[in-house]
Homo-oligomer: A and B are copies of this chain.
Amino acid sequence: MKNGKVTMSDVAKRAGVDISTVSRVLNSSFEKHKYSDKTVAKVRKAVDKLGYHPSLVARSLRTGKTMLLGMVMSDIGNPFFSEMAFHLDGIMGEYGYRLIVCNTNEDPERQEEHIVGMLAHGVDGLIVSPSGKRGLDRIENSDVPLVVIDRPLSNGFSFVGLDNVLAGKMVAQKLKAHNYRRIGVVMPDSKEDLTLQERLDGLKTGLKDEGCILSWKVCIPPTAVAGEESHRAIVNKLKKELDYPDAIVGITNVCTLNIISSLEELDLVWGESLGVVGIDDFTAASIVRPSITVVGQPIKRIAEESFALLLKQIKEDKKKLKKETVLVEPVWHCRKSLPVR
């Protein structure tokens, strides 16, 4: 009561009842314990008068549930993740959960630290977009539910993410439909990230099915941001080619970004002399002129599915539930860079 904090026993005292009575009235747990209307009223009044709010810390200690869900993300600055956080916050709020976030900045060590920290804080579940495997085992050993997003891990954690093979295929189909035949592709040079391979595989088989030709492929450094070196590689490739392809595909948003800055340098206007299409959306895509057509991730759905998986694990309690993988369908953002020819 002093120090600004009103506790349950203050309420009990003022209402002239026992603290357990207050608790049960407030939680409406009347199954085994009925209370007279008079008592209930007394309690309610005392609560209002004192402006009582239960301490979630104490409740958590007693119940073992904190109603906190943790999100460990690899790059909080990336719009994909902030949008993800936006949707998650909205959805889980309806269920009374609150979101704790942290940012690993792609650093596996920080990832582990953060995971340990979140577990110590007693989160009821974790959503992780992993930068490597470090720390994930900690979650597995605890029995805190976990859903991995964005990048699948070879270990069998529950996962929600894009159907990358399908994304590649969709690009191939769209290219064909819009009458592009000779296709160039730019992709990051990373063996580890199977996501990329899947996209490429989908694209390749798709192109073959559609009777298109993969004219060339350029690999660029697997950095998170567009860079001079990548840029150079693409320009060189284009200069060396005798004739340009009909269209260029960016396997990731960074690739696509590099493509457009290269074309700018060569004074080629995408959407006119040649088409450009990317996998994964990015802010600039709708801003540059002409705007860039991409297949993107349905972020809201990913958020919904992740939360649903998490909630199921929380409710069914044990992680005896077998791990589930949810692949979501990519969505087209049709803009100006891939007109019908």
**A interface, CB within 8 angstroms of B:** 3-5, 51, 53-58, 60-61, 66, 68, 76-77, 79, 81-83, 85-86, 89-90, 93, 98-103, 105, 116-122, 141-143, 264, 283-284, 287-289
Contact = CB atoms under 8 A, between A and B. Distances in A.
Contact of A284 (B3, B83, B105, B287): B287
Contact of A120 (B54, B61, B83, B85): B54
6 contacts: A76-B89, A79-B79, A81-B82, A85-B103, A86-B103, A284-B284
A117 B98 contact: yes
Contact of A283 (B76, B100, B119, B287): B287
From A3, A98, A102, name the one whose CB has the most chain B CB atoms within 10 angstroms.
A98
B61 A141 contact: no
Contacts of A102: 89, 93, 98-99
Nearest to A85: B76
Give the copy number: 2
Nearest to A118: B98
Nearest to A4: B143
B61 A57 contact: yes
A116 to B, nearest CB: 7
A77 B66 contact: no
A57 B55 contact: no
A172 B66 CA distance: 52
A322 to B, nearest CB: 19
Contacts of A53: 116, 119-120
A3 B143 CA distance: 8
In order of increasing CB-CB distance, the 7 nearest A-B pairs are: A82-B82, A284-B287, A76-B86, A57-B60, A57-B122, A283-B283, A89-B103
Nearest to A60: B57
A121 B98 contact: yes
Nearest to A58: B61
A98 B89 CA distance: 17
Given A85-B103, A287-B288, 16 more contacts: A4-B143, A54-B120, A55-B61, A56-B121, A57-B60, A57-B61, A57-B66, A57-B121, A57-B122, A61-B61, A76-B82, A77-B82, A77-B86, A98-B102, A98-B117, A100-B100
A87 to B, nearest CB: 10
Nearest to A141: B4
A40 to B, nearest CB: 22
A122 B56 contact: yes
